[in-house]
Amino acid sequence: MALAIFIPSDIGWPVELLRSAHAQGVGQNCGPGATCDANLQCDPLFNACQPIPASPGPTISLQTCAGAGGLAAPQPWQVTRIIVNCVDGTIRMAVLVGMTALSTYMMPIALIIFILAVSFSGVRLALADEDMKEDAIGFLLRLLLVMAFCYNMGGLAGVPFMAVDEGVAIVSGGVAPWDLIDLSVAKLLGFSPQVTLAQGVLGVIGASLFSSGTGAVMFFLGFTVILQLLMFMYRAVYTYLLAVTVIGYSVFLSALVIPLAIFQKTDRYFQKWLDILLAAILVPIMLFAFLGIFMTLVNNAIATLFNVLGNDFQSFWRASPPYFSWMLLSDPAVLKQYETPASPQGAAMVQSFVNPLMGRSMNLDIFNPSVIDFGPDHFKRMQAVVLALVSFALTLYAVTSLLSAIPGIAEDIAGVMTGIGYEDLPMGQLSGALSGGAGGGIT
Residue 432, pLDDT above cutoff 70: no
Predicted pLDDT at 190: 67
Identify the DSSP state of 29: B
Calculate the average pLDDT of the chain.
68
Nearest 10 degrees: Cα torsion 342, 348, 353, 355: 80
- List all residues 6 or more positions away from 327 whose beta carbon is below 8 Å from its beta carbon: none
Predicted pLDDT at 352: 42
Average pLDDT over residues 147-154: 74
Residue 314, pLDDT above cutoff 80: no
Helix axes 133-149, 79-127, angle to 10 degrees: 150
Q: What separation in angstroms does the CA of 191 have from each of 172, 188, 200, 364?
A: 25, 8, 7, 32
The domain limits of the chain are 13-72+91-161, 321-368
Residue ranges of alpha helices (H) inside 253-405 are 254-257, 267-309, 332-336, 378-404
pLDDT in tens, 25-72: 655 667 666 677 766 777 665 566 766 654 444 444 545 555 554 455
pLDDT in tens, 277-288: 888 888 888 888
- High-pLDDT (> 90) share of the chain, %: 0
Please give the residue that has the higher pLDDT: either 91 or 354: 91
Predicted pLDDT at 171: 80
Average pLDDT over residues 265-269: 79
SS3 string, 323-362, reads CCHHHCCCCHHHHHHHHCCCCCCCCCCCEEEEECCCEEEE
Q: Is the pTM above the cut of 0.85?
A: no
Give the pLDDT band (50/70/90) at residue 442. very low
Average pLDDT over residues 171-196: 71
Residue type, 285: I
Give the pLDDT band (50/70/90) at residue 133. low
Name the helix (H) or strand (E) containing 371.
strand 370-372
